[in-house]
Amino acid sequence: ELTQSYSNFALDLGYKEYLSHKIYASSDFLLMPSRVEPCGLNQMYAMRYGTVPIVRYTGGLRDTVEDVSSGGSGINFGAATAKDAVHAIHRALHIYHNKELMQSLVHSNMNYDFSWEKSAERYLEMYRR
């Protein structure tokens, strides 16, 4: 249970392209508690804007978001339960309050290269081995 109340929350159930960019750019964290996520693009969009992803460790999220405890780009949690999600949010709050770590993570995430060129290089490297 969160012990502090936060007032910066909004909900819009429609989709507006311009608004999605503003939300990514103005957010500190993106929570993706997916049960199934075959690819996952939202975490990559978020990282490009400097938003730290909090993701359930599944599918494409597993492929693109390594946990910060292992030098990665975000926060992972295993079970699709409220308890695990809340624990991950608590971890995010600790990172947020460590300004140096948060700033480092934001800058690092904004420089991740998810381009096709980078993916093609990795495939070629794998085929050469």
pLDDT tens, position by position, 41-51: 999 999 999 99
Predicted confidence at residue 92, as pLDDT, reads 97
d(CA 49, CA 103): 13
Q: Which two tokens stand for residue 51?
A: 């938003």
pTM listed for this prediction: 0.82
Q: pLDDT tens digits for the chain (129 residues)?
A: 445 556 677 777 888 899 899 989 999 999 999 999 888 899 999 999 999 999 999 999 998 999 999 999 999 999 999 999 999 999 999 999 999 999 999 999 999 888 889 889 988 999 999
d(CA 63, CA 127): 19
- Domains of the chain, each with CATH number or no CATH: 17-128 (3.40.50.2000)
Q: Which uninterrupted H or E stretch holds 122?
A: helix 116-128
d(CA 7, CA 25): 18
Which burial class, exposed, middle or buried, applies to 15 when counting CB atoms under 10 A from its CB (0-12, 13-18, 19+)?
A: exposed
What lies within 8 Å, CB to CB, of 84 at 6+ separation is 56, 77, 78
Q: Which uninterrupted H or E stretch holds 30?
A: strand 29-32
Predicted confidence at residue 12, as pLDDT, reads 76
